[in-house]
Structure 1
Amino acid sequence: MEAGFNTTVLRNTTSSAHAQQTYRGWTPILIIQLLLACASVVLNLAMLIVQFLPQTQVTAFTIYLVAIAIGHIVVQLVTKPFSLINYVTGRVPGGQSLCAFYVYFQFVFSMIPVLLHVLIAINRLWAVTYPVSYNQRHNKKTASLLCLGVVAYVHVVPLAVFMLEFFYFGPTDKFTSCQPGAGGIIEWRRADFVLHRVIPLALVIGVYIYVMAKRWTKRRIGGQIEGNRSTDHNSSNKPVAGGHPASTELQSSVVRRRKVKPYIVLTVTSISVLMCWVPSDVYWALVYLYMTPPTWVHTVTSTMYSVQTVFDPLMWLFSMR
């Protein structure tokens, strides 16, 4: 099976030079990508600013959102100008040193937001499955260490292989392309597709279904008990004669700080992952099944990842209560 792998198909579908032979100058899809990149940077910056406003409650869960927003901003600011110049002019800007810098952010750093989406799903799975352990152990320090663990992982596993592929096999065309030699390490390409595209997608969607089903079951079973407790609590807090109205006025004067709702974030994140990751993953699955989809399909499906970088902060801002 391995010997029958068509490296020509992989080369034609992964090389940006192949796409650049089709697109020269500004095209509608390039304009859309530029607008998406600008919108992504603005919305993610807005989300970061909102998270650190005095009216916003910063929780341990917020750490994941901050890390994803920073990842989106860095990827868009570094990779998008380079790739657009490459597409429009047909030349590699900045030479081979800048090309290696671009490859790092495109293939390695861009995995960080993807894996952080998985962390959000695992976070909710932990909260639902082991609520006592979650309440005791999960805090801002834990969330920060988990995010740093993702950063460390992508620099231990993907970085070493991609740099080997880039510097050993060289770009497909050092003048017009800034992609590693396609088909250089075929086994890694396949493993990378499964590890960093298929498994994250399956984890996010599968965990979401499990978490929401478990929450629905708990609410159905414990709904009556919670209702009784709420009734008792409200009756015990009724104002009595001779009470202290000053305490009531003090409570009403306190401004309630806004915070994101984790389960709403999980929902919108799962929806965005399903909408924006699946088309690209299907495309690459066809490639690894020895099929040759048209180049324009790759251009459209890869653009969906930029759509998610816009969708994420927009939905997170709406999830704040």
Structure 2
Amino acid sequence: MNDTNETAWNQRADNDTQTAAEWTVLPVFQLLTALSGFLSNGVVFLVFAVNRSLWTPFNVYVVNLLIANCACIVTQFPMDIVVSLYHGGWTLSEPVCSYYLLTSWYLQPVIFNSHQLIAINRIWAVTHPISYRGIHSTRTAMCLCVGVWIYVFVGLAPGLVNDTAYYRVPLQTPGLCNLNTEAQLHWALAVQIIFYIWPQIFMLIASLVIFLVKSARRRRANRGRSNTVAPAMRGTNSNPQRTGREPTANITAATDNSETPSTPGRQRQKSSHGNLLLLLLTVSVTVCWTPNNVYYTWQFFTAYDEPTFYTVTTILFAIQTTIDPVMFALALTPLRKALYEFASCH
């Protein structure tokens, strides 16, 4: 997964010369995560498909991530299991190798940047709520999701084409199925930084920005309430004929104005669900992606390979596809209710 250096794979294959398939810890966990990921993503996607009430602009990003996860699980995970069974050796044909490289190098960055797109949406909603409510729609969300798939394809196509045409190392039996990243080191390093490391960093930045913006708004709201209540109370004490209703109205008006302009309660609730989802996804990807990014970035600068660390990073990376639907259910109350109804009916 996330193949960025051929030397590590060569060393791992040279350390074990046997060609028979062996169900070690890594392929067993990959099989389990493939099954659990397909089940969890598939069920959540089915619930979205049959519940029209869930077809909101923000949920387009959720469905997009579900599609990317399912595509990766169906196309790449079986090949990952085969590679792990033979300790990094490739026993299939060269066309299948090309298919495997295309799926692994393309779908993984799509997943990373689909997470980043949710962070971009949340920053837009929190920092520019007026333009967000005026511009953002289901069509806008769909265009942005399609743009992510195109953006990743444009960034990866030059290196994939050059590798196929000029730099691909011929397969042996058993051989290794990898891109020759050493021949395109600068491109491979740019891919690692732009499509793998930066999305994770951006999610952390987005969570911090949203926290700071909302904290600043709460402080302004509290100051507005204090400035409104004090004059109202003084006016009430100086005039016994007043009924006390006017200060209450002033307090209510100040409270309403402290929120984003013209934001109804349901819209604020949906926004909080989206922010909670971003927070949960940020925590999960920090745990699951960080070891993987550290491992493959380190491989650019050294030929040393630690099989145990590789196994842990690969398992954690695969688990993220299973965790995503769980985060969706925890953060999005309408989805959680729909899942409960779906389970009750079946």
Query: Same fold, TM exceeding 0.5?
Result: yes
User: Which amino acid is the alignment partner of residue 304 of structure 1?
Assistant: L
Matched residue, 2:157? 159
2:7–2:303 Cα contact (<8 Å) kept:
no
Matched-pair identity in %:
22
Change (3 A) 1:289 1:96: closer
Structure 2: where are the runs of 5+ without partners? 227-247, 254-269, 334-346
Q: Per-residue displacement from partner, 1:54-103 (whole Å, max 9, x unpaired)?
A: 37432111011101111111111111112212332466465111211111
CA–CA separation in structure 2 for the residues paired with 1:173 and 1:16: 16
Matched residue, 2:182? 183
1:317 aligns with 2:314: no
CA–CA separation in structure 2 for the residues paired with 1:39 and 1:314: 11
Matched residue, 1:26? 23
- Measure how far apart 1:223 and its partner are: 4.9
Q: Per-residue displacement from partner, 1:12-37 (whole Å, max 9, x unpaired)?
A: 22559738837851112211111011
Larger Cα-atom Rg = 2
1:10–1:183 Cα contact (<8 Å) kept:
yes
Change (3 A) 1:121 1:49: same
CA–CA separation in structure 2 for the residues paired with 1:81 and 1:276: 20
Change (3 A) 1:280 1:86: closer
- Measure how far apart 1:208 and its partner are: 0.9
User: Which amino acid is the alignment partner of residue 117 of structure 2?
Assistant: L
TM-score, with structure 2 as normaliser = 0.75
Matched residue, 2:276? 264
1:50 aligns with 2:47: yes
Equivalent residue of 1:52, what SS?
Answer: helix
- Measure how far apart 1:229 and its partner are: 7.3
Equivalent residue of 2:54, what SS?
Answer: coil
CA–CA separation in structure 1 for the residues paired with 2:224 and 2:298: 51
Pairing of 1:202-213 with structure 2 (within 5 A) = 202-213=201-212
CA–CA separation in structure 2 for the residues paired with 1:125 and 1:190: 28
CA–CA separation in structure 2 for the residues paired with 1:231 and 1:281: 51
Q: Per-residue displacement from partner, 1:223-248 (whole Å, max 9, x unpaired)?
A: 57689779859xxxxxxxxxxxxxxx
CA–CA separation in structure 1 for the residues paired with 2:54 and 2:297: 42
1:277–1:304 Cα contact (<8 Å) kept:
yes
User: Which amino acid is the alignment partner of residue 169 of structure 1?
Assistant: Y
Please identify, of 65-74 and 151-160, the stretch whose mean Cα deviation from structure 2 is larger.
151-160
Matched residue, 1:131? 129
Equivalent residue of 1:292, what SS?
Answer: coil
1:284 aligns with 2:283: no
Matched residue, 1:101? 99
Q: Give the superposed CA RMSD.
A: 2.9
- The match for 2:141 among 143, 154, 157 is 143
Size of the aligned set, in residue pairs, is: 289
Please identify, of 309-318 and 80-89, the stretch whose mean Cα deviation from structure 2 is larger.
80-89
Change (3 A) 1:95 1:259: farther
Please identify, of 14-23 and 207-216, the stretch whose mean Cα deviation from structure 2 is larger.
14-23
Structure 1: where are the runs of 5+ without partners? 1-8, 234-257
Equivalent residue of 2:183, what SS?
Answer: coil
2:277–2:332 Cα contact (<8 Å) kept:
no
Matched residue, 1:255? none
User: Which amino acid is the alignment partner of residue 65 of structure 2?
Assistant: I
Matched residue, 1:244? none
User: Which amino acid is the alignment partner of residue 119 of structure 2?
Assistant: A
User: Which amino acid is the alignment partner of residue 16 of structure 2?
Assistant: Q
- The match for 1:39 among 9, 31, 36 is 36
